[in-house]
Amino acid sequence: MAYVFLIPACLLAMLSALRLCRLVATIDPAVNGTSTPGGSPETGSEELSDDEHAPDLFDAAYLAGGPERVVELTLVRMVAKGVLHLAHTGWTSVARPHPQNELEAAVLTAIGPEGQCRTDELRREVAHGAAVREIADRLTRRGLAVAPGTRDTLAQAVTGVRWSLVATLGLFAAALGAAGARDLTGARIGLAALAAWFTLPLVLSAGTLLMARIEVYPVTPWAAPPGQDLLRGLRAGTRRARAHRAHSRSADQTLALILRGPNALREPYLRAALKPSRAL
């Protein structure tokens, strides 16, 4: 009777592990056999098609922090060029309405004819706009970024493996209870053998979660394995440039914003301006 609990435990462990492994295989070019142009935002890349280009700083910002990081980088660069003014009170105003690229044009369009708006609202609107979506689509096509639907599915698959581990422990406890009841009636069940059988689904679920920690978390929430390689190259290049004093203050601040977000900015007013406001 106690071994009846082993069947659902094994099925849960196998199905949840298989689902997660298949998802990881579909997004990893090294597994599914697709090739991805390499390169870094500073050094260029291999040959690309006519409608693609080497990864730039905005691509790196998306891989490191997603759509809102792209908008934050755009806002800081526009402030540096005197196009915008970011107030620590949470408002953005237009100082010189002359955009130089599609992202800057999207920001000015989102601000509107009044010339000012709340920074949080501006960030959300541009992050969901066509200009940022084009970056996401391009990086996803090249295998550098994980598609939003894939991110959600991966998170659900990891949760499924975690719940299968919890369910296996519960079923093991139920099996031990059933074995104990049988012992009271005079039937003997080898508890050591029962525990040994239940180690199979437990090891499978725990091993899959360990694999998820190593393989899945590096590809979420935004960068796939090739995108993570690009970011690691950017960090390494930044360290080498600092060692040789080759980076200017503005370049250091730009890369810090890309890799670590607005909290890495030196100017307190920029940190305050880009800090998300808390809902009352």
Q: Which of 141, 158, 175 is the last residue of a domain?
A: 141
Q: Based on the domain organization, do 116 and 168 belong to the same domain? A: no
DSSP one-letter code for 223: B
Q: Residue 214's domain spans which residues? A: 2-35+146-219
Distance from C-alpha of 205 to C-alpha of 222, rounded to nearest angstrom: 25
Q: Which of 84, 110, 141 is the last residue of a domain?
A: 141
**How far is residue 85 from each of residues 28, 75, 116, 125, measured CA to CA in Å?**
41, 9, 9, 18
Distance from C-alpha of 228 to C-alpha of 201, rounded to nearest angstrom: 32
Q: Based on the domain organization, do 72 and 106 belong to the same domain? A: yes
* Number of domains into which the chain is organized: 2
Regions of the chain where pLDDT drops below 50? 31-36, 43-51, 184-187, 279-280
- Answer for the pair 32, 26: CB distance below 8 angstroms, yes or no: yes
Residues whose CB is less than 8 angstroms from the CB of residue 44 and which lie 6 or more positions away in sequence, other chains included: 54
Largest distance between two CA atoms of the chain: 88
Would residue 80 count as lying in a domain?
Answer: yes
Would residue 99 count as lying in a domain?
Answer: yes
**What is the model's pLDDT at position 249?**
64
Q: Based on the domain organization, do 59 and 180 belong to the same domain? A: no
Would residue 29 count as lying in a domain?
Answer: yes
pTM to 2 decimal places: 0.71
Would residue 120 count as lying in a domain?
Answer: yes
Q: Based on the domain organization, do 50 and 9 belong to the same domain? A: no
Q: Based on the domain organization, do 186 and 55 belong to the same domain? A: no
Distance from C-alpha of 81 to C-alpha of 68, rounded to nearest angstrom: 20
Would residue 172 count as lying in a domain?
Answer: yes
Q: Based on the domain organization, do 190 and 177 belong to the same domain? A: yes
Would residue 201 count as lying in a domain?
Answer: yes
Would residue 259 count as lying in a domain?
Answer: no
pLDDT digits (tens, 9 = 90+) for 81-115: 999 999 988 999 999 888 999 999 999 999 999 99
**What is the model's pLDDT at position 135?**
94
